Amino acid sequence: MTSFPTLPVVEISEPVKTFRLAHEESPVFSLSIDDEDDLAIRKLIRERVDSKLLKLDAYKELAYGDARIIHKAFILSRKGGAGRFNDDARGVWYCALEHDTAIEEVAYQHIRRMEKSGEEKPSMYKDEVIYQELFAEFAGPFHDARGLPRNEGILGTEPKTAYPLGQKLTRELRAEGGRGIIYPSVRRQEGFCLVAFHPQMVQGLRFGSRWKISWNGSREYTVEEV
């Protein structure tokens, strides 16, 4: 049984469209992969085949094209660090239910990276990043955290305290057969996010627009389509 918190399960009967923004220089878009990446992707594929979630003739398809983008999201956590619902051992698929929420989430993460680069000064906040928008659809049962208060517990604003709680919850839910969580965005008060625990859940992946987020001396930023 999960120790905290107890979340109801909601059934998404009709596929819901989601938004994910990926840094264009992210390794997820690389056409080449190193040996360690290859082994990790093959392990995920074997899990899907062994669990009979797909036919054996789909094996080759999973290792190339858009499927590789999906699978890399689940193996790159060991290189990029842990997140709210993933530890260093295995990644997840983070996305938002609204475009503006996806923008706020990635902007916050980039601000964190800039602030880690040195002591706070105006020159720290000078950068521009281009993100590729990715659409995907989800359906089926998800644990529902939308009733939890924002800024507390697994939805806390401080990564050092909130992320370990969310990672523990993910491990417990996944061990019980959980597929993912719908939860309030911590970075955009009106928004909601979805995290998927398994790559086979990501359906209908397609590319949207490219967006440039720019900082010019402060934490405030501008967004434009490019």
Question: For the chain, what is the largest distance between any 2 Cα atoms, rounded to a whole number of angstroms?
Answer: 55
pLDDT in tens, 73-119: 887 654 556 899 998 888 899 999 999 999 999 999 999 888 887 66
| Number of neighbours of residue 92 by Cβ within 10 angstroms | 24
pLDDT in tens, 8-54: 999 999 999 999 998 887 655 554 445 555 555 555 545 544 443 43
Backbone angle region of 52, left / alpha / beta, with phi > 0 → left and psi within -120 to 50 → alpha:
left
Query: What secondary structure letter does DSSP report for 84?
Result: S
Q: Taking the CA of residue 89 as centre, how many other CA atoms within 13 Å lie in the half-sphere pointing to its CB?
A: 5
pLDDT of residue 6: 86
Find which of 58-67, 85-94, 122-131, 138-147 is predicted with most confidence, using mean pLDDT: 138-147
Query: Considering the entire predicted model, what is its pTM?
Result: 0.81
Per the prediction, the chain carries an average pLDDT of 82
**For residues 167 and 182, what is the distance between their CA atoms, to the nearest angstrom?**
15
Token couple for 27? 């390794």
Residue 220 backbone phi and psi in degrees, to 5: -70, 150
Give mean pLDDT, residues 153-172. 94
Question: Residue 193: is it exposed, middle or buried by C-beta count within 10 angstroms (0-12/13-18/19+)?
Answer: buried
**For residues 219 and 208, what is the distance between their CA atoms, to the nearest angstrom?**
26
Residue 179 · residue 201 · CB < 8 Å: yes
Choose among 79, 105, 93: nearest CA to 44: 93
Q: In angstroms, what CA-CA distances link 128 with 27, 55, 83, 210, 226?
A: 18, 43, 23, 13, 12
